């Protein structure tokens, strides 16, 4: 597979001894225009990759903050089709790597092949589907890694602290761009506890793959981001950013810059 | 009537809950969680937990908590915590979501006792195997009572565990089988839970099956007078049996179920669960068109005591005065 924008980014950061800052926002929360503004703000604040959430009625991996964000986005009429249109719009303004985080049913309903084709054409660089295990994703991976006009989609799968050695192998082999390490057994926005056990497990993943590893779930403060940046190649922050945009958007820029500075 | 209503705790749910409680104990887990719609599976799981000595928390939508108050009290009596789920449709689907989120978080010490033939592998198969006793008993009981196999089997289908439990034993025979979904206020009205009549293929909560969803793959709200059938999806084996044509799926409306609830109480002295009343309604429709000597087995999956308050409320009767 050809080097993707995301792989190239991690290679560059690694050479410079830097870590990736990967913020998440929910597309269409509170509306598509604001999502465009937020995306550009995140880029100005130093984001390396942006994760765009696709709202779904039953977001199983998400805590209350992102569940509510999905509810607001659905209310504003956001669908997968509209998210892809939004990506096209974002691409008029920035080339920053974009990853869609979506549940599987909207993709299934849209059609896997059509989703991959339209995503690549819209300018999406990668996809995270938390309820699609690698065993069920063989066709999806094959189609995603096939070149469409010289571009392809990175497939990011999730390793949990309970993943066994053999599953870590499977998950990291299926992943491209980077591997998503879930910091805890839990849902997004839960309280972070990076104990020795998790650190040891993360090391096990390191020994299994040389692909970049980004850690997400529960990272809410610059201090936590700093700690995680010392262990991983990238730091994913979702709920805390979704929350600040929703509750006090005037404080968002300061908060996001604080996270960025912590992840050096 | 296959009298699952006579099982301990009042429904077939105990067959599975007890099996999984024992399994959890064997696996060294200290805590059980479960979702519940009508409250029967919650009561069964709380019972299993009490029996084998495990902690227990039950997730239940706030709408269901209101319409199944009696079962909520029973679960608490049995020592379970009842966690009200006030998000999404506030019914069974969201209770499953919350239970899965809990499980994701506490998987090291917790077993999730899924109550129906649904969810990720191995639940659809495991729950089927625990419920298969229904069909085995039905076969031996009908042989004893009538000396021959039945002509037709009827069961209601929410997630579908009582139906699979009955059908499983007879899948290799030519016996006609009918699954009855919740027709709510009618398929055209959109307020129902008839996944085969009004849904399409999708992937939800760990399995691929039929689903009530919109064009963008978001799950739709459902309606049924019975909390246990008020669910947007259906067990994947039912989807398979529908597509292969082995089982015929139909639906009964709220009104038909309520009429059957009343008729069975009056005619036989058996108050059925509103869920099971959907199966009874189908038998009432079919029996007049069948030869006199034909045998129908209706799975009476649960007793109706839990529904008496709700039915009184629907009829505008206040039981508290």
B5 CB-contact burial (10 Å; exposed 0-12 / middle 13-18 / buried 19+) = buried
Task: Name the nearest CA neighbour of B297 among B90, B73, B158, B145.
Answer: B145
In B87-152, which residue ranges form alpha helices assigned H by DSSP? 92-106, 123-131, 133-146
A68-96 as b/e, with b when 16 or more CB fall inside 10 Å? bbbbbbbebebbbebbbebbebbeeebeb
d(CA A161, CA A224): 18
Q: What's residue A1's pLDDT?
A: 59
The rounded percent of chain B whose pLDDT value lies above 70 is: 100
pLDDT over 90 percentage in chain B: 95
CB–CB contact A105 B203 (8 Å): yes
Confidence bin at B321 (pLDDT 50/70/90)? low
pLDDT for res A259: 98
Q: Tell me the mean pLDDT in the region A209-226.
A: 97
User: What domains does chain A contain, in order, with CATH numbers?
Assistant: 5-258 (3.20.20.70)
Peptide bond before residue B122 is cis, with ω within 30 degrees of 0: yes
Q: Calculate the average pLDDT of chain B.
A: 96
Residue A211 pLDDT class (50, 70, 90 cuts): very high
Nearest to B112 by CA among B16, B34, B40, B42: B34
Which of B48, B40, B60, B43 minimizes the C-alpha distance to B17? B48
**pLDDT score, position A168:** 98
Name the minimum distance, in Å, from the CA of A3 to any CA of chain B. 32
Q: Does residue A21 belong to the interface with chain B, where contact is any CB pair within 8 Å?
A: no
Distant-in-sequence, close-in-space partners of B230: CB < 8 Å, separation ≥ 6: B37, B64, B91, B92, B158, B182, B193, B222, B223, B224
User: How far, in whole angstroms, is CA A126 from its chain's centroid?
Assistant: 8
Q: What is the pLDDT of residue B192?
A: 97
Residue-wise pLDDT for B35-89, tens only, equals 999 899 999 999 999 999 999 999 999 999 998 899 999 999 999 999 999 988 8
Q: Which of A61-70, B62-71, B245-254 has the lowest mean pLDDT?
A: B62-71
**Nearest-by-CA chain A residue for B211:** A105
Among B87, B104, B205, beta carbon nearest to A185: B104
Q: Which residues of A touch B211 (CB under 8 A)?
A: 105
A138 burial via Cβ count (<10 Å: 0-12, 13-18, 19+) = exposed
Residue among B105, B205, B216 whose CB faces A185 most closely: B105
pLDDT at residue B320 above 80? no
pLDDT confidence bin for A152, thresholds 50/70/90: very high
CA distances A264 to A6, A230, A255, A259, Å, are 18, 9, 15, 9
Give me the helix-helix angle, A32-44 and A252-262, nearest 10°.
40
Q: Is B265 assigned a catalytic role?
A: no
**The predicted structure's pLDDT at residue B30:** 98
Q: Quote the pLDDT of residue B46.
A: 98
Q: Per the structure block, which two tokens stand in for B6? A: 């006579």
Residue A2 has pLDDT above 80, yes or no: no
pLDDT recorded at residue A264 = 85
Mean pLDDT across B15-34 = 98
Give the tens place of pLDDT for each residue, B125-155: 999 999 999 999 999 999 999 999 999 999 9
Distance CA B272, CA B12 (A): 13
Q: Give chain A's mean pLDDT.
A: 97
Q: Report CB contact under 8 Å: B107, A162.
A: yes
Chain A residues with CB under 8 Å of B206 CB are: 131
């Amino acid at each position: 597979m050809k080097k993707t924008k995301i792989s190239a980014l991690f290679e560059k950061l690694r050479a410079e001894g830097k870590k990736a800052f990967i913020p998440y926002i929910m597309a269409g929360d509170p509306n598509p225009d604001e999502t465009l503004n937020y995306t550009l703000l995140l880029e100005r604040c130093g984001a390396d990759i942006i994760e765009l959430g696709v709202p779904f009625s039953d977001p199983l991996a998400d805590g209350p903050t992102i569940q509510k964000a999905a509810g607001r986005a659905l209310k504003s009429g956001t669908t997968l089709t509209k998210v892809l249109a939004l990506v096209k719009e974002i691409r008029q303004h920035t080339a920053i790597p974009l990853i869609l985080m979506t549940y599987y049913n909207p993709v299934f309903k849209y059609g896997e092949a059509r989703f991959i084709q339209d995503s690549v054409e819209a300018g999406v660089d990668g996809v995270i589907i938390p309820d699609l295990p690698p065993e069920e994703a063989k066709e999806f991976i094959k189609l995603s890694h096939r070149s469409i006009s010289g571009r392809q989609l990175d497939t990011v799968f999730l390793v949990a602290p309970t993943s066994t050695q053999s599953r870590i192998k499977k998950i990291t082999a299926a992943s491209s761009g980077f591997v998503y390490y879930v910091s805890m057994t839990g849902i997004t926005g839960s309280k972070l506890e990076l104990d020795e056990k998790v650190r040891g497990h993360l090391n096990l993943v390191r020994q299994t793959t040389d692909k970049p590893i980004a850690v997400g779930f529960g990272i809410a403060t610059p201090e936590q981001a700093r700690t995680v940046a010392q262990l991983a190649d990238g730091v994913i922050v979702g709920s805390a950013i979704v929350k600040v945009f929703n509750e006090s958007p005037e404080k968002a820029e300061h908060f996001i810059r604080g996270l960025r500075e912590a992840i050096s | 009537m296959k009298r699952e209503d006579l099982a301990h705790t009042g429904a077939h749910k105990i067959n599975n809950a007890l099996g999984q409680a024992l399994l959890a104990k064997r696996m060294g887990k200290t805590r059980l969680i479960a979702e519940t719609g009508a409250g029967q599976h919650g009561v069964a799981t709380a019972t299993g937990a009490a029996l084998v000595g495990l902690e227990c928390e039950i997730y239940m939508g706030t709408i269901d908590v209101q319409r199944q108050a009696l079962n909520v009290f029973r679960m608490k009596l049995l020592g379970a915590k009842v966690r009200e789920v006030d998000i999404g449709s506030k019914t069974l689907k969201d209770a499953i979501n919350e239970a899965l989120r809990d499980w994701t978080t506490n998987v090291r010490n917790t077993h999730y006792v899924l109550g129906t033939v649904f969810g990720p592998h191995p639940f659809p198969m495991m729950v089927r195997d625990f419920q298969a006793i229904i069909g085995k008993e039905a076969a031996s009981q009908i042989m004893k009572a009538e000396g021959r196999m039945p002509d037709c089997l009827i069961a209601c289908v929410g997630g579908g565990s009582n139906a699979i439990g009955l059908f499983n034993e007879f899948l290799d025979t030519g016996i006609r089988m009918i699954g009855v979904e919740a027709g709510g206020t009618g398929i055209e009205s959109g307020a129902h839970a008839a996944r085969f009549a009004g849904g399409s293929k999708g992937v939800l909560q760990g399995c691929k099956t039929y689903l009530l969803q919109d064009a963008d793959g978001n799950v739709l709200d459902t309606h049924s007078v019975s909390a246990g059938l008020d669910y947007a999806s259906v067990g994947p084996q039912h989807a398979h049996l529908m597509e292969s044509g082995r089982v015929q799926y139909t639906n009964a409306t709220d009104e038909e179920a309520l009429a059957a609830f009343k008729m069975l109480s009056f005619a036989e002295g058996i108050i059925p669960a509103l869920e099971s009343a959907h199966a009874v309604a189908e038998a009432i429709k079919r029996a007049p068109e069948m030869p006199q000597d034909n045998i129908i087995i209706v799975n009476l999956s649960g007793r109706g005591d839990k529904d008496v308050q709700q039915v009184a409320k629907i009829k505008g009767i206040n039981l508290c005065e």
